C-alpha cells in the first residue's frame, strides 16, 4: 500500500514500556485492563458497580484474576446513552477512586473520560496513571491537558477504515508530540463510528497499525459487533469476545480492555505460549 510510506517517520525502536507515575509496565507481554464502570447505564448490566462494596469487590476481582490495569469510567459512552454532566461524572469518579485507592493503593489505574477537566481532576487528586480518551481529542484541549499532566494517553479513533485511521492517527500523534506527550497508546475504537461490517474489516487489518510504532489497545468486550452478529445479548457474548481477543493478540495488540479478566488473562497465556513455540 503506497500511502503507508508517509508514516515511516513514526516507526521507531519502541521498547513498549509505559511509565505510569514511576510504575513501569512492560508491554512485550500483553496486559489486561479490567473495566470498572461506576455508571447506572453501561451497556453490559453486570459491569455497573456503584456501591462502595461493589467497587471493592470489583477492584479485588480484577487484580486477583490477573488484571494489571483498572479502568474506571464515570460516564457511559454507549450509543444512545444520556451523557452525565461534568459535575456528575466528577462526583462518581471521586467516590469510586477514593475506594479503589484505599483498597489497592499501588494498582495502576486509568480513567475513561473525554473531558479535559475531569482528566486533570483525577490525576491531580487521585494520582490516576493513564487517561483513556474516547473523544479523539478533536479540539486539542485534551491533548494539551494530558501532555501537561505527563501521564500515558490512550488515543481512540472513530474512523471506519484502517487507511483513514492511520491518516488520523498520524496527524494526532504528531500534534501530541508537539506538546511533549511521551507515552501514547492507540485504540482503533471498535463500536465507535463504524458499522458492524466495518468493525470486522478493521479487526482483519489491525496489524497494519504496527507501522505507527506504538502499542495498540483493543476493547471489544461483549460489544454489539459480537452480540448482534451472533444474535444474542451482551450477557451471551463472552465466547465471541474471547475469539476476537485471540485474533487481536495474534495481530499484535498490547492491551486488552475487558469485562472478563480471568478469561482474557488465560487468552494472553495461551497466545504467548503459541508464539514461543513457533
What digits encode the pLDDT tens for the residues 73-113? 988 776 566 678 899 999 999 999 999 999 999 999 999 99
Return the pLDDT at 179. Answer: 95
Give tens-digit pLDDT for 159-211. 999 999 999 999 999 999 999 999 999 999 999 989 999 999 999 999 999 99
Q: Is residue 50 over pLDDT 70?
A: no
Give tens-digit pLDDT for 210-223. 999 999 999 999 99
| Ramachandran quadrant class, 82 (left: phi over 0; alpha: psi -120 to 50; beta: rest) | beta
Enclosing H/E stretch for 64 = helix 52-64
Contacts 24+ apart (CB under 8 A), 223-232: 223/43, 223/190, 223/191, 224/43, 224/79, 224/191, 224/196, 225/190, 225/191, 225/196, 225/199, 225/200, 228/196, 229/196
Give tens-digit pLDDT for 32-49. 999 999 987 564 455 455
Mean pLDDT of 217-244: 94
Lowest model confidence (mean pLDDT) among 57-61, 138-142, 157-161, 274-278: 274-278
Enclosing H/E stretch for 132 = strand 130-133
Sign of the dihedral through C-alpha 136, 59, 226, 223: negative
Return the pLDDT at 3. Answer: 45
Cell numbers given for 254: 498490547
Q: Is residue 9 over pLDDT 60?
A: no
**Rg of the chain over all Cα atoms, to the nearest angstrom:** 18
Give tens-digit pLDDT for 112-158. 999 999 999 999 999 999 999 987 555 689 999 999 999 999 999 99
pLDDT band at 13 (very low <50, low <70, confident <90, very high): very low
For the annotated catalytic residues, the residue numbers are: 223, 257
Q: Is residue 255 over pLDDT 80?
A: yes
Return the pLDDT at 73. Answer: 92
How many percent of the chain have pLDDT more than 70? Answer: 86
Return the pLDDT at 40. Answer: 74
Global pTM exceeds 0.75: yes
Cell numbers given for 114: 473525554
Return the pLDDT at 45. Answer: 54
Residue identified by cell 482503533 is 188
Return the pLDDT at 174. Answer: 95
Return the pLDDT at 83. Answer: 77
Amino acid at each position: 500500500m503506497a500511502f503507508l510510506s508517509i508514516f515511516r517517520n513514526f516507526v521507531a525502536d519502541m521498547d513498549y514500556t509505559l511509565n505510569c507515575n514511576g510504575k513501569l509496565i512492560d508491554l512485550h507481554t500483553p496486559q489486561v485492563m479490567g473495566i470498572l464502570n461506576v455508571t447506572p447505564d453501561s451497556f453490559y448490566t453486570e459491569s455497573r458497580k456503584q456501591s462502595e462494596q461493589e467497587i471493592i469487590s470489583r477492584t479485588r476481582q480484577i487484580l486477583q484474576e490477573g488484571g494489571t490495569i483498572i479502568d474506571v469510567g464515570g460516564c457511559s459512552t454507549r450509543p444512545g446513552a444520556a451523557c452525565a454532566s461534568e459535575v456528575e461524572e466528577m462526583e462518581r469518579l471521586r467516590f469510586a477512586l477514593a475506594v479503589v485507592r484505599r483498597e489497592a493503593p499501588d494498582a495502576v489505574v486509568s480513567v475513561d473520560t473525554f473531558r479535559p477537566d475531569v482528566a486533570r481532576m483525577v490525576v491531580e487528586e487521585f494520582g490516576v496513571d493513564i487517561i483513556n480518551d474516547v473523544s479523539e481529542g478533536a479540539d486539542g484541549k485534551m491533548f494539551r491537558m494530558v501532555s501537561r499532566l505527563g501521564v500515558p494517553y490512550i488515543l481512540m479513533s472513530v474512523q471506519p477504515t484502517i487507511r483513514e485511521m492511520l491518516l488520523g492517527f498520524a496527524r494526532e500523534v504528531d500534534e501530541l508530540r508537539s506538546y511533549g506527550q511521551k507515552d501514547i497508546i492507540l485504540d482503533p475504537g471498535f463500536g465507535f463510528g463504524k458499522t458492524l461490517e466495518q468493525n470486522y474489516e478493521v479487526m482483519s487489518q489491525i496489524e497494519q497499525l504496527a507501522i505507527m510504532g506504538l502499542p495498540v489497545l483493543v476493547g471489544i468486550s461483549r460489544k454489539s459487533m459480537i452480540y448482534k452478529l451472533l444474535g444474542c445479548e451482551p450477557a451471551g457474548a463472552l465466547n465471541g469476545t474471547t475469539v476476537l481477543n485471540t485474533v487481536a493478540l495474534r495481530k499484535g495488540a498490547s492491551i486488552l480492555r475487558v469485562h472478563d479478566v480471568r478469561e482474557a488473562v488465560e487468552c494472553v497465556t495461551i497466545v504467548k505460549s503459541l508464539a514461543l513455540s513457533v
